[in-house]
């Protein structure tokens, strides 16, 4: 039987190193080393060969981004970034994900020790999940360089259903997966896209900007009452559920709420999918990508019951096969696909026969 998860904790604050290490140890994780900067973190990884690294973003001598890049080059190891709630840190955190980090966890503000204690179960869960991710052995990066994706002539000449809507849900390991799917979807499909990624307030705006720059869709962070039509996408705002309020003439409107968390998260995929199933009467597709937990499973049931089509990412290409697995277990998933085939699977569900 495998032993406990082994971790290296890197943070320039002695206090934070101690708090994080104590929380992980209490959660059954073996903290094999601590590091006060990126250089020490790289050395600790090489020496101790841990299962996971918790990496502060800003550190002296070598920051978290440089350290992550070095670790991926010298001894690929799953990295969880620990980031503060600031716009600058949001940008840097996404850069770290580009360098190979699996996911991030936001450090609380205010009374840090009290807040970290409150979040300790979440931190332990995500560290264990990130530790299970395979890095270095498989390539999960977007593989199509063309903005708007789907560059093949067969896609360009395809005919699609009128007013299709796509709801994508993801969590741990999801940001890069969502970026890939949207970059692979041609704007000619004229989808209305709703993205629910488990991500805190302050990060979802930057996430929307990144997808907007990488896809052929007009992507923005959701605001209360926001409307979208074909070729547009909304990313659920951190700390707000995104409900589909109404749908008329091919345009849908969303409502943001701070109702109680669902499946212990806000935004919750289930909220968006279930309200979409209730409101949208045109073609509807639900997709569940990598993530821990069961959020999205009930939403998939509802979309299927409403006559929509459903897709889940496969285990081999999921960073964490939690949400997709729970969705598949409902018996309501039409297709289980590797990440490189998700966009094609979506297009297949909305493609119509071309009459000559």
Question: Which residues are identified as catalytic?
Answer: 171, 198, 295
* Burial class of residue 110, CB neighbours in 10 A (0-12, 13-18, 19+): exposed
Number of other residues whose CB lies within 10 A of the CB of residue 46 = 13
Question: Longest Cα pair distance anywhere in the chain, in angstroms?
Answer: 71
- Structure-token match 């032993």, residue found: 3
> Among the residues of the chain, which ranges form H helices?
14-26, 38-48, 64-74, 87-98, 112-118, 120-131, 153-156, 174-184, 204-214, 269-279, 297-305, 323-329, 339-350
The region, left, alpha or beta by phi > 0 then psi within -120 to 50, assigned to residue 98 is alpha
Interatomic CA distance for residues 276 and 211, integer angstroms:
22
- Whether a cis peptide bond, with omega within 30° of 0, leads into 238 is no
CB 150 within 8 A of CB 184: yes
């Amino acid at each position: 039987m495998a032993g406990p998860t082994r971790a290296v904790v890197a943070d320039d604050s002695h206090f934070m190193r101690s708090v994080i290490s104590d929380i992980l140890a209490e959660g059954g994780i073996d903290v094999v080393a601590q590091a006060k900067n990126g250089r020490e973190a790289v050395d600790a990884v090489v020496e101790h060969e841990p299962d996971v690294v918790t990496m502060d973003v800003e550190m002296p001598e070598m920051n978290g981004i440089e350290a992550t890049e070095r670790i991926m080059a010298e001894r690929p190891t799953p990295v969880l970034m620990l980031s503060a709630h600031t716009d600058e840190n949001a940008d840097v955190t996404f850069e770290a994900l580009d360098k190979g980090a699996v996911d991030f966890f936001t450090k609380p503000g205010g009374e840090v020790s009290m807040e970290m204690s409150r979040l300790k179960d979440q931190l332990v869960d995500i560290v264990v999940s990130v530790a299970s991710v395979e890095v270095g052995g498989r390539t999960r990066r977007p593989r199509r360089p063309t903005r708007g994706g789907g560059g093949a002539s067969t896609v360009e000449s395809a005919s699609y259903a009128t007013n299709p809507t796509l709801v994508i849900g993801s969590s741990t390991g999801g940001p890069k997966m969502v970026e890939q799917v949207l970059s692979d979807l041609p704007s000619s499909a004229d989808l209305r896209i709703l993205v629910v990624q488990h991500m805190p307030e302050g990060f979802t705006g930057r996430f929307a900007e990144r997808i907007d720059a990488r896809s052929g869709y007009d992507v923005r962070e959701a605001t209360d009452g926001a409307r979208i039509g074909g070729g547009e996408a909304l990313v659920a705002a951190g700390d707000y559920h995104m409900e589909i309020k109404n749908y008329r003439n091919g345009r849908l409107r969303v409502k943001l709420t701070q109702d109680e968390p669902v499946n212990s998260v806000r935004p919750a995929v289930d909220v968006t999918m279930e309200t979409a199933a209730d409101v949208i009467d045109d073609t509807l597709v639900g997709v569940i990508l990598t993530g821990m937990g069961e959020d999205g499973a009930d939403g998939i049931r509802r979309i299927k019951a409403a006559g929509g089509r459903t897709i889940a990412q496969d285990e081999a290409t999921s960073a964490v096969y939690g949400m997709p697995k729970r969705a598949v277990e409902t018996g309501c998933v039409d297709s289980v696909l590797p990440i490189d085939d998700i966009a094609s699977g979506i297009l297949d569900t909305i493609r119509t026969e071309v009459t000559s």
